[in-house]
Amino acid sequence: MTRLLWTACVTAGVLVSTTGTGAWGMDVHRWITERAIDGLPEPIKPFFVAERAFISEHSVDPDLWRTVDLRGERGDEPPNHFLDMDFEEGSKTPFLNIPREYDAYVGKYGVGPANRYGRLPWRAEEIYTRLVGAFKDMGQPNAPFAADNARYFVAVLAHYIEDAHQPFHAVISYDGQATNQRGIHSRFETDLVLRNQKTLKLEPVKITAIPAFRDYMFQTLLDSQALVDGVLAADRKAIEGREFYDAAYFDVFLTGVKPALERRLSEAASGLASAVFSAWVEAGRPVLPAGGVRAPARIRR
């Protein structure tokens, strides 16, 4: 159990939790990813079911990249995990002040602010595009590692799509700091889920065509942002009169957010499955080996 720590901030009415922040907890990422794979349609399901363990395990890699401070072409890894839709004062949904083109986004706000407020939609689109390319390469004699690449791109894409479904990856007050509810990020996405995983009722995976992937990511973040106030209100109600984040706290918290939590987990799994299917269709529906990744033939001299 986590104690509500009283600090010097108590004079301002702040309750500080010892829990940290991040993406969906690693076990939650794996769970969502596995549900998505199990819900894929024929004829691509056999390939991905064969690679289920690999993809599930590597769906947490982007969080590990943050830990070891890996950098990509656009900079550090952490901004790839969020986009603070409400970062500009006075802006309101659908936050059309944020350009949907990355170059225009950077051009309007500058590289520093762009990194500070996040770049999740564009990073996810980058990986989606690479997945399409890997699918196109499958079956080509000059691309023996295309299937291996495809399964890994799916794992990485899983992480970013799932992050977009987490409400606190879409707001500047990502850990409740604006309302003195620090620790809410982890309490919602990890502690609450793992405590109740066996009783949460998720919808079956639904496959929906995604004709414009970046637009899909922006809409997903808009939907996430809209849920934040409700989660914060449920947390405030659960905290009332308590010294610890104990079982009673989580029972009250769950009552307040269960429908939204179940919906976002369900939509994350359906979103990943739909993205994989859409990338495969965009690539021309290549034949995928039912047995999973096959070792390339040895080149003899």
191: in domain: yes
Determine the average pLDDT of the residues in 172-176.
97
- Is 7 a domain residue? no
pLDDT tens digits, one per residue of 252-261:
999 999 999 9
Count of structural domains, the chain = 1
Measuring CA to CA, how many Å separate 164 from each of 213, 218, 234?
Answer: 13, 9, 21
Residue 291 lies in a domain: no
Q: 0.85 cut: is pTM over it? A: yes
Note whether residue 298 is domain-resident. no
Report, as an integer, the average pLDDT of 157-170.
98
Residue 289: inside a domain: no
Which residues on neighbouring strands pair with residue 15, listed in sequence order?
181
Question: For residue 141, is it within any domain?
Answer: yes
CA dihedral 221, 225, 226, 230 (to 10 degrees): 140
The predicted-structure confidence for 75-114, as pLDDT tens digits, reads as follows 789 999 999 999 999 999 999 999 999 999 999 999 999 9
Q: Which domain holds residue 198?
A: 19-282
- 54 domain-assigned: yes
Q: What is the CATH number of the domain that holds 125?
A: 1.10.575.10
| Phi, psi (deg, nearest 5) at residue 118 | 105, 165
3-class state of residue 284 by DSSP: coil
The 3-state DSSP class for residue 137 equals helix
* 14 domain-assigned: no
Q: What share of the chain in percent tops pLDDT 70?
A: 90
Mean of pLDDT over the chain: 90
The owner of tokens 């990502």 is: 174
